[in-house]
């Protein structure tokens, strides 16, 4: 499918890369781009895709939502815009396979929120993060007040959101917002290394692990443990579990078939 603002590439072994491509606006998210991302997400076949990588073209991952579109929204229109972005990001978070954000530059506002909807974030040393919405008279609208405290804790999240300040990649790593920081020229290689490490493992088990972690977000300890037990048990109904353990016992490489 052809997109106006997305570039999609499908590599070997079920690895798909989605690049947001509107460099003139630093990849700012407008309704059209959100719609294209939503359409793209719905085209992904869980039986074919093993890992999704999301990045941005140029010097920005996503510099935020499109202020020119938001400037004159009514309260009702603001609700619809926030709901649209939040729903798209929730669909990304709920994808049954790992999603990696390759953060090549600015990840501000909606861009930071998009990165947080991914499972893992690898950042270029030139990346910059922040939730600057309060300086525009609004608050984060694409679930930033929900995901940021989950990742970095309430105190740091409140500081970042109340001040609207921008932080560098090293600070983002220190507070737990990103998993890894690399030199800009090493970003693609670092993402490839992570993808390859994931691909070595049983696809169903990786998907179950993601589902279990995501569904544990707001459960109490007993519910969380029971949920993990259920997903753990489901692994034993797969051929991949039998293959993985047989390979371990016979000291040979496992060949997983996503079955």
Q: Which two tokens stand for residue 38?
A: 């939503």
Task: Return the exposure string of 76-87: e unless at least 16 CB atoms fall within 10 Å of the residue's CB, then b.
Answer: eeeeebbebbbe
Indicate which residue of 133, 185, 186, 228 is catalytic.
133
* β-pair type (60-62, 106-108): parallel
Indicate which residue of 113, 185, 186, 243 is catalytic.
113
259 is catalytic: no
159 is catalytic: no
What single string gives the DSSP state of each residue in the chain? ---SSEEEEE-GGGEEEEEE--GGGTT-B-HHHHHHHHHHHHH--TTT-SEEEEEESTTEEE--B-HHHHTT--HHHHHHHHHHHHHHHHHHHT-SS-EEEEE-SEEETHHHHHHHHSSEEEEETT-EEE--GGGGT----SSHHHHHHHHH-HHHHHHHHHH--EEEHHHHHHHTS-SEEE-GGGHHHHHHHHHHHHHTS-HHHHHHHHHHHHHTTT--HHHHHHHHHHHHHHHTTSHHHHHHHHHHHTT--------
User: Could you give phi then psi for residue 183, rounded to 5 degrees?
Assistant: -60, 150
Give Cα 113 to chain centroid, integer Å.
9
Active site residues: 113, 133
């Amino acid at each position: 499918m052809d997109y106006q603002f997305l570039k999609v590439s499908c590599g070997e072994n079920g690895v798909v890369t989605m690049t947001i491509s509107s460099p003139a606006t630093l990849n700012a998210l407008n309704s059209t781009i959100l719609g294209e991302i939503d359409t793209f997400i719905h085209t992904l076949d869980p039986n074919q895709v093993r890992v999704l990588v999301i990045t941005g073209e140029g010097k920005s991952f996503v510099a935020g939502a499109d202020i020119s579109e938001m400037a004159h929204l009514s309260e009702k229109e603001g609700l619809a815009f926030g709901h649209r972005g939040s729903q798209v990001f929730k669909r990304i978070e709920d994808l049954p396979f790992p999603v990696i954000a390759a953060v090549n530059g600015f990840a501000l506002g909606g861009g930071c929120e998009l990165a947080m909807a991914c499972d893992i974030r690898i950042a270029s040393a030139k990346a910059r993060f922040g939730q600057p919405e309060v300086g525009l008279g609004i608050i984060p609208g694409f679930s930033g007040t929900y995901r940021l405290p989950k990742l970095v804790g309430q105190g740091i999240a409140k500081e970042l959101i109340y001040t609207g300040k921008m932080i560098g990649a090293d600070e983002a790593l220190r507070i737990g917002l990103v998993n890894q920081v690399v030199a800009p020229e090493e970003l693609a290689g670092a993402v490839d290394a992570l993808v390859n490490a994931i691909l070595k493992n049983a696809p169903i088990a990786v998907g179950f692990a993601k589902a279990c972690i995501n569904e544990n977000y707001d459960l109490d300890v007993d519910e969380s443990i029971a949920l993990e037990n259920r997903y753990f048990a489901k692994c034993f109904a797969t051929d991949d579990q039998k293959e993985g353990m047989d390979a371990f016992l016979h000291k040979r490489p496992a060949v997983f078939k996503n079955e």
